A and B are shown apart, each in its own frame.
Chain A
Amino acid sequence: MSANFTPVSALIGGLMIGGAASLLWLALGRIAGISGILGRAMQGSEGVERLWRILFLVGLPAGAGLVYFLGWSAAPSAPPTQLGLAVVGGLLVGVGTRLGSGCTSGHGICGLARLSPRSLAATLVFMAGGMASVFVMRHLIGL
């Protein structure tokens, strides 16, 4: 097992993420899918429907920054340094999440909780895709 394995903070952070997704569903009846919220904040919503999405999205770096500022989390060890790869990866994530109607949060955290077979299928496929991608990059190409 990796020395980086952090089960306690991972579990606590997961509970908070689950709490946030539950709040959005129980109070507002909205799925906390980050890709869907970001996609619709840019296209296909207006007025208060756009406003709540933008405020939710602003809350992500604000909440993360606050936790770091308070000393409750370590800074990310390494942001992406290969900028070309960051752009290609970003494009694939953007196109893929909209085409597949969701990401780790919408399909993984909310969809599985709704017992949606569609979300289970998507989660298995993007997990496998991510694992295959890392295998090729790290162990075949050696980046």
Chain B
Amino acid sequence: MRLSLIALAAGLLFGAGLAISGMYDPAKVLGFLDIAAIASGGWDPSLAFVMAGGLAVTVPAFSLARRRAQPIAAPQFQTPTATAIDGRLMVGALVFGIGWGLVGYCPGPALAALAFGSTGTILFVLAMMAGMVLEGMANKQLASA
């Protein structure tokens, strides 16, 4: 119960932040990724400020967490275990980046923009979910092969 309520509160705050920062607008994201616009004066560095604002909170918060044996409302920190910078990570990040640049949506902003119910947003989210499931299935196949 407590787990679910905290997760819902975090989701609401995250979604609100995506709206206020303007990141649920693909035009703003593409305006940042368009580095050719730096020379022409049309570049929009807003996304860098969103990252900076986010890290200004998470860096001290995660540092504080390192001094705790366990989270406040859960038995343990579920720290990611993978550390290798391998082909899987690099190819995945590259494929993600290319898709991100095609549309201007990464997963969070796409889900937040569902609030407006545009066909393009809905199609993107459905395709993204299909891509995730396909990757999961392929991964399972490879693991059992």
Contacts and interface: CB of A to CB of B under 8 A. Distances in A.
B145 interface: no
A109 B51 contact: yes
A83 B125 CA distance: 12
Contacts of B30: 134, 138
Interface string A40-77: 00111000100111011111111111111000111111
B13 A10 contact: no
A133 B44 contact: no
B56 A98 contact: no
Contacts of A101: 80, 82, 88-89, 92
A112 B102 CA distance: 25
Contacts of A34: 106-108, 111
Nearest to B48: A10
Contacts, number: 514
Interface size class, chain B:
35 or more
A116 B62 CA distance: 12
A78 B27 contact: yes
A54 B110 CA distance: 15
B111 A76 contact: no
B4 A132 contact: no
A95 B7 contact: no
A20 B19 CA distance: 14
Nearest to A39: B132
Contacts of A80: 26, 103-105, 118, 120-121, 123-124
A89 B121 contact: no
Interface string B37-80: 10001111111011111111111011111001011111111111
A99 B111 CA distance: 20
Interface centre among A16, A73, A83, A93 (most CB of B within 10 A): A93
A139 B40 CA distance: 13
Contacts of A98: 92, 131-132, 135-136, 139
11 contacts: A10-B53, A21-B58, A29-B75, A86-B123, A89-B102, A90-B128, A92-B99, A96-B97, A100-B94, A121-B90, A129-B101
Interface of B: 3-4, 6-28, 30-31, 33-37, 41-47, 49-59, 61-65, 68, 70-80, 82-85, 88-108, 110-116, 118-121, 123-136, 139
Listed from nearest, the 6 A-B pairs whose CB atoms lie closest are A129-B97, A59-B11, A14-B53, A94-B131, A13-B21, A100-B92
